[in-house]
């Protein structure tokens, strides 16, 4: 028996409906959406539309679900947003909790003449709102993670978005860790652009994700190519979602994503969150008693189900390997693609071990994982 506690990386365990939907698509539909008028293509288009509509419901998108363009993952969506909106001479404000999916494209844009200001952030996941206010004056865009993939904390989105808007800046939210786990309402929270991935909290397959772009926000396409419409023109269509959807869509992936999002909508994000918060609290409580173990992530019941730890004298990579090899407990060690967040915690040299719960995690899983950590560290892993 194994215990999977790496849901923050990917929901490797998915509701069976996801694989069923993908296999039904490949078996019974198989065509490319939006590329022909025959019945298979129409059915493919219907599935893609249903998925857009389900995502729009999940994220509180007002009006046209076509404001959501499918992308391959959050990384592609973030690149599409950052490169599509920012121009040389603009300034972007980001934070030290950012994943490399934000940090690296912003660094690439800096080489093209986009200025960057980085908000410092605290070890408990909070921000200095005065610092944010000062940084946002004259900025074009604020980009931030809704939930930190290292700390599991949730950013004060609405407060930061209000400050950004007061200075005329747009707000881009990286919802890679929050979609499906925390309530996201783009209208209520003042989100202009929302990047999400399909394979984590939305329980879809890898290779799915998307970008919501608020009506009125101008965005240039990062990729150009066929869209199945306006084919006489050498320019990408102006209308969403075609503007950001060059090339053949991931039909089977989107069918799987639809099944995942429907699963989330049927349970309700608040119910999912409450359950995962309780599991996180239990895991924290069980781990806290282990000698030498440092809980790096705060309790943050309003955040996501992530518990990141180090153990004195134990190499995180060795601990994660032994947990898997000796106890079947799967976690993620290292810097979690967020080196600046680890720098805040003082763990930038060798990282930490991250446990992350998901839809199928049970109390028994959590207890087994904590027992495994106690046993492994008692035996002195990596000392
Ligand atoms: C906060 C955050 N942003 C972005 C990403 C990138 O997601 P993807 O690899 O699906 O593009 C991740 C995934 O690890 C993440 O945790």
| pLDDT tens, N- to C-terminus, the chain (383 residues) | 999 999 999 999 999 999 999 999 999 999 998 888 899 999 999 999 999 999 999 999 999 999 999 999 999 999 999 999 999 999 999 999 999 999 999 999 999 999 999 999 888 888 899 999 999 999 999 999 999 999 999 999 999 999 999 999 999 999 999 999 999 999 999 999 999 999 999 999 999 999 999 999 999 999 999 998 889 999 999 999 999 999 999 999 999 999 999 999 999 999 999 999 999 999 999 999 999 999 999 999 999 999 999 999 999 999 999 999 999 999 999 999 999 999 999 999 999 999 999 999 999 999 999 999 999 998 765 44
Strands 352-356 and 306-311 come out as antiparallel
Give the pLDDT of residue 36.
83
Closest ligand 1 atom to the C-alpha of 197?
10
Q: Is 153 in the pocket of ligand 1 (CB under 6 A)?
A: no
Cis ω for the linkage preceding 241 (within 30 of 0): yes
DSSP H or E stretch at residue 119: strand 115-119
C-alpha span between 280 and 286 (Å, rounded) = 10
Which has the closest alpha carbon to 5: 363, 331, 280, 360?
Answer: 331
Residue 377's nearest CA partner among 353, 356, 345, 350 is 353
pLDDT at position 381: 57
- H or E element at residue 246: none
The residue whose CA is least distant from atom 15 of ligand 1 is 176
How far apart CA 332 and CA 285 sit, in angstroms, is: 20
Domains and CATH numbers, the chain: 16-267 (3.40.640.10), 268-378 (3.90.1150.10)
The yes-or-no answer on residue 51 being catalytic is no
71 lines ligand 1 (CB under 6 A): no
157 CA → ligand 1 middle, Å: 18
CB 92 within 8 Å of CB 86: yes
Token pair belonging to 65: 């679900």
Protein residue closest via CA to atom 14 of ligand 1: 9
Report the first-to-last Cα separation within the chain, whole angstroms: 27
Rounded-to-integer distance, Cα 16 and Cα 139, Å:
45
Cα separation of 204 and 198, whole Å?
A: 5
Atom of ligand 1 nearest to the CA of 145: 1
Sign (positive or negative) of CA dihedral 240, 244, 249, 254: negative
CA of 383 to the centre of ligand 1 (A): 32
Global confidence as pTM:
0.97
Res 157: pLDDT: 94
Pocket of ligand 1 contains residue 145 by CB under 6 Å: yes
Which pLDDT value is given to residue 125? 83
What's the CA-to-centroid distance between 276 and ligand 1, angstroms? 19
Give the residue whose CA is nearest to atom 7 of ligand 1: 74
Our answer on whether the CB atom of 297 is closer than 6 Å to any ligand 1 atom is no
Residue 199 CA, closest ligand 1 atom number = 10
In terms of phi and psi (left: phi > 0; alpha: psi -120 to 50; beta: otherwise), the region of 209 is left
pLDDT at 383: 43
Q: Is 261 in the pocket of ligand 1 (CB under 6 A)?
A: no
Decide: 174 in ligand 1 pocket, CB within 6 A.
yes
């Amino acid at each position: 028996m194994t215990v999977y506690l790496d849901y923050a990386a990917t929901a490797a365990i998915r509701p069976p409906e996801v694989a069923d939907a993908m296999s039904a698509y490949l078996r019974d539909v198989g065509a490319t959406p939006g590329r022909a008028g025959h019945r298979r293509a129409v059915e493919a288009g219907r599935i893609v539309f249903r998925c857009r509509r389900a995502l729009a419901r999940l994220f509180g998108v007002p009006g046209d679900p076509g404001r959501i363009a499918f992308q391959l993952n959050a990384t592609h969506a973030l690149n599409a947003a950052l490169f599509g909106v920012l121009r040389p001479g603009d300034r972007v404000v980001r934070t030290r909790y950012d994943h490399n999916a934000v940090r690296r494209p912003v660094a690439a844009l800096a080489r093209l003449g986009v200025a960057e200001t980085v908000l410092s952030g605290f070890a408990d996941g909070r921000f200095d709102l005065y610092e944010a206010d000062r940084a946002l004056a004259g900025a074009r865009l604020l980009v931030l993670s809704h939930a930190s993939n290292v700390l599991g904390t949730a950013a004060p989105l609405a407060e930061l978005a209000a400050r950004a808007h007061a200075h005329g800046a747009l707000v881009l939210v990286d919802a890679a860790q929050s979609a499906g786990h925390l309530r996201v309402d783009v209208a209520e929270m003042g989100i202009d652009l929302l990047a999400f991935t399909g394979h984590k909290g939305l329980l879809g397959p890898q290779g799915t994700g998307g970008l919501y772009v608020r009506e009125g926000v101008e965005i240039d396409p990062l990729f150009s190519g066929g869209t199945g419409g306006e084919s006489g023109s050498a320019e990408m269509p102006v209308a969403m979602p075609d503007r950001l959807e060059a090339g053949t869509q991931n039909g089977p992936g989107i069918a799987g994503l639809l099944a995942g999002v429907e699963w989330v909508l049927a349970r309700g994000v608040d119910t999912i969150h409450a359950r995962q918060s309780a599991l996180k609290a239990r895991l924290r409580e069980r781990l806290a008693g282990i000698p030498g173990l440092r809980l790096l992530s705060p309790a943050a019941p309003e955040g996501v189900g992530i518990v990141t730890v180090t153990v004195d004298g134990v190499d995180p990579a060795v601990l994660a390997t032994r947990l898997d090899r000796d106890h079947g407990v799967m976690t993620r060690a290292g810097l979690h693609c967020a080196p600046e967040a680890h720098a805040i915690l003082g763990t930038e040299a060798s990282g930490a071990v991250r446990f992350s719960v998901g839809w199928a995690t049970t109390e028994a899983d959590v207890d087994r994982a904590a027992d495994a950590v106690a046993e492994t560290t008692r035996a002195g892993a990596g000392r």
